[in-house]
Structure 1
Amino acid sequence: MPLQQLVEYFNDRLEQEHNDGVRPFVLENGAVHGLFGPIKVGSILAPIRETLRSSHVVGHIAQLTVAANPILTLQGNELDNLVNLPRAPGNSDSVINFDRLARTVHMLNYLPQSHLDELLFLHVDPRHILGVKADHGAYFEEIIVKCGLQTGNVAIALNVSNAYARFFPSLQKGLENYQRRGYKLALKFDIQSLEKSALELISRLAPDFVGLSAENLDQVRDSQLPGKIQQLNSLVASVKGRSILLDIDDKRGAALARQSGFGLVQGRYFELPVTSANKPDAGNKVSKPQSYQSRRAV
């Protein structure tokens, strides 16, 4: 189905579901955006690459762009204030509706470049998982199928934060519902969140992918850091997952990925033209990373 027809189909669907006359999806210059109150959201699709064959893309992480809704007029720095406002934890319906709208936007923007052997990584808000009591992934599965893909083409990605540690059992149940429907599963951590409860979550869920953010890693003053990274990669390998070093901005991060055994990489460094500033050092020999196999075939 042509992209414009899909946009109209999902507009019709949401208009009927909410009975409010709102048609949030718009197609502009070949890109789909979603209108949500005073903001307009869009997509950036960031490639995930094989570490040792960075020309080989295995999938894309969908990242959200936010701009002012042109239908509504915002004054001064109102947009910045709205984006930075903490969202009310109890307003689960609003979180769920926004999460579904954003993921639909990403799915529609992914379609023109989709390949059956690649994955689309879609972030889900933990409050969405906690707010839906059963059948996680059922609603979005209908969207995926309408777009001509399957749940196996999508990896549900969750940022794991210490703030949600006491909710890990409930999050686990929701994520297991996604797994039962055939979705791939990806968990993302920063180094500060790699505590015992987070590692136990990896062991219990056996995710297909585990990502670690490289952001600010060079500023971490922790003599145990190499050991923590090795422990993470060993754990991921033991559950037959694949490890990803994310948010790589420079060649130091790329070298860390190779030396530490991350099978996959993502970041601005790999999208920049090669210059003397970011070209890998030819004489820099690195140890061969371990070989990882996805728990389910990609």
Structure 2
Amino acid sequence: MADGTAVGRFYEFDLASGFQRIVRLGAPAAVDPHVAPTVVAYDAYARSSGQAGDTISPWGLFSRAAEDATVVWLDRLCRVVHTINYVAQEGSEVSLHLRVHGRLLAAIAQDHGHTFRDMLDAMGVSHDIVLQLPETATYDADLAAQLIGSYRRHGFRIALQASGAALAIARIKLYEPDVMKVDVRTLSQPEQQVPELLRAAEGGTTQLVFTRIDQPRIAQTLAAQGAEYGQGYFFDLPAARLAGAAVNA
């Protein structure tokens, strides 16, 4: 495009990127939306629109792919478009989080991450990439261990997600992901559950990120309990341009 951003094409839809910050919690960033927080990573989201200006959600876009081979192609296209749009921008020194679709995991028998690594090498991209697996990927412990091991062999770090503290703690202990994302909406007693989650991650290499933070009081509660990392609409909406200067964790 004229502004330098890369756009993919899937049927009649253009595929673009939106980036949301993952930030350090704590005053003053946790209490004042006008204070730029320290950025530790960016999370990429798919944005798609038709020729007539109509839009479609990522879920709707993937639902149009009837064949597994098409899902695999679309998933890789999304990640390549996001990567190109990310590395071209100032502030892209920190990690980039990219989602992996569940149907791709099921369609590829083995050696996950090999093709995407070859694509990155061909583009000369050496940035730190964190691949976020869907929650369903952890339902089968043996398969999850195989997936995580394969992606790590190809140089990717792994993010898992969980609905609720108990599941997050169990997955931290079982898989030792590089990043564990916990939806704050699933925490019924954050004052008790956040310290439990922090203890589970303590001493390991798992970075605990609390997502869906959309109000200052939530950010304040998390920060008061010792949570370090957060993400959500309170800090910013996903946008094509990186929001704020990135600072390494």
- For the criterion TM > 0.5, the same-fold answer is yes
- 1:8-47 equivalent positions in 2, closer than 5 A: 27-47=1-21
Post-superposition shift, 1:268? 2.2
Equivalent position amino acid for 1:230 in 2: P
CA contact (8 A) 2:138 2:144 kept: no
The number of aligned residues is 231
Aligned to 2:135: 160
Post-superposition shift, 1:230? 2.8
Show CA shifts across 1:134-166 (max 9, x none): 21111111222233332x6100112314xx554
Aligned to 2:208: 243
CA contact (8 A) 1:52 1:258 kept: yes
Post-superposition shift, 1:51? 1.5
Q: Would you tell me which structure has more helix in proportion to its own residues? A: 1
Separation in 2, partners of 1:271, 1:158: 23
Separation in 2, partners of 1:186, 1:232: 15
Equivalent position amino acid for 1:113 in 2: Q
| Residues 232 and 144 of structure 1: CA distance in aligned 2, closer, same or farther (over 3 Å) | same
1:52 to 14, 23, 26: 26
Post-superposition shift, 1:261? 2.4
- Partner secondary structure for residue 32 of structure 1: coil
- TM-score normalised per structure 2: 0.78
Separation in 1, partners of 2:116, 2:203: 30
- TM-score normalised per structure 1: 0.67
Separation in 2, partners of 1:49, 1:137: 27
1:233 to 175, 189, 198: 198
| Residues 58 and 34 of structure 1: CA distance in aligned 2, closer, same or farther (over 3 Å) | same
Whose relative contact order is higher, 1 or 2, with alpha carbons under 8 Å and at least 6 apart? 2
CA contact (8 A) 1:34 1:102 kept: yes
| Residues 174 and 114 of structure 1: CA distance in aligned 2, closer, same or farther (over 3 Å) | farther
Show CA shifts across 1:87-142 (max 9, x none): 49983222211110100110010012266751010011122122211211111112
Post-superposition shift, 1:257? 2.2
| Residues 92 and 234 of structure 1: CA distance in aligned 2, closer, same or farther (over 3 Å) | farther
Aligned to 1:100: 76
Largest Rg, 1 or 2 = 1
CA contact (8 A) 1:213 1:247 kept: yes
- Partner secondary structure for residue 268 of structure 1: coil
Separation in 2, partners of 1:132, 1:33: 25
Post-superposition shift, 1:175? 1.8
| Unaligned ranges ≥5, structure 1 | 1-26, 273-296
Aligned to 1:141: 117
Show CA shifts across 1:219-259 (max 9, x none): x6x4x554333322222224321111112111012112202
Decide which moves more: 53-62 or 83-92. Answer: 83-92
Equivalent position amino acid for 1:190 in 2: S
Separation in 1, partners of 2:221, 2:25: 10
| Residues 133 and 61 of structure 1: CA distance in aligned 2, closer, same or farther (over 3 Å) | same
Separation in 1, partners of 2:121, 2:74: 20
